[in-house]
Structure 1
């Protein structure tokens, strides 16, 4: 079994904001595989299904972003999963342009409070992740205002493509093809 967690904030006012890109990817996965993410448990909305022959739990923590680890730790403990082997976390990344992805096998929180809390609550930073680019905050903007804001039409079009790529990457990762997913979808760093 695999746990796939998309990060975001609950509530209508946060729908489709930059910070809720993880929820958008979960909705796309759920739609593609006809999984209903509606069961309220473990401080999350959850749904069970099968993707590429692998049993999955799709989860959207409802704790607000900064406490995402509370929900993730409950899910990992309840399903007796090893977060280092059986979990993917999907979330926004302001250091990537809208539409870009970066897949990692492990890493620090990189300033992302949701990831920081997951690392604290699960006791590991060695879990698979798909970071979806939402763009850097404009100069002079407050970070919270930026990540809680909506994309303009051009950026949203790029993000919709990225959501599809994140779904495909997750499909590959749960069947052990993380390296292939990284090769296919990771943005090549610009030459300095």
Structure 2
């Protein structure tokens, strides 16, 4: 059971109720239900001249490991904006989100979902931000074999390199019905 004890809307002490077949913390005074603790991360495979953009983490988690650039989404930010911002902040590279190529689901105390994008390189030369990452560069698959690459990163780069079609989840910029403030993705 989560450690949340008070309503985030009105401050009332929460009670445990069975909602949707599971015990959940719920407010007896308003309609607030604590559905759980979640985090959503994003990462990206940006290729230039057959090499992928990697960063070496300067902080935990993963300090000293090479990963694809990424981070956690902000509350009022679309996920494609998050990954474009994170890449530029961490490396100085400007890239545009093309499609979602993979999703990693990690259920635990804080359930973590990680969405990986294929990105279009626009411009810039890799420069580590010196805070979250201490090195950045474009590396070949062969170079990666001698580096301290995080296992998830190796898997993501393999997914990106071995896509057998152009399909994936792409942003639906023209849905059949207007859905303002929705970030919509569809398979092609």
TM-score of the two chains, using structure 2 as the length reference: 0.27
Structure holding more helix per residue: 1
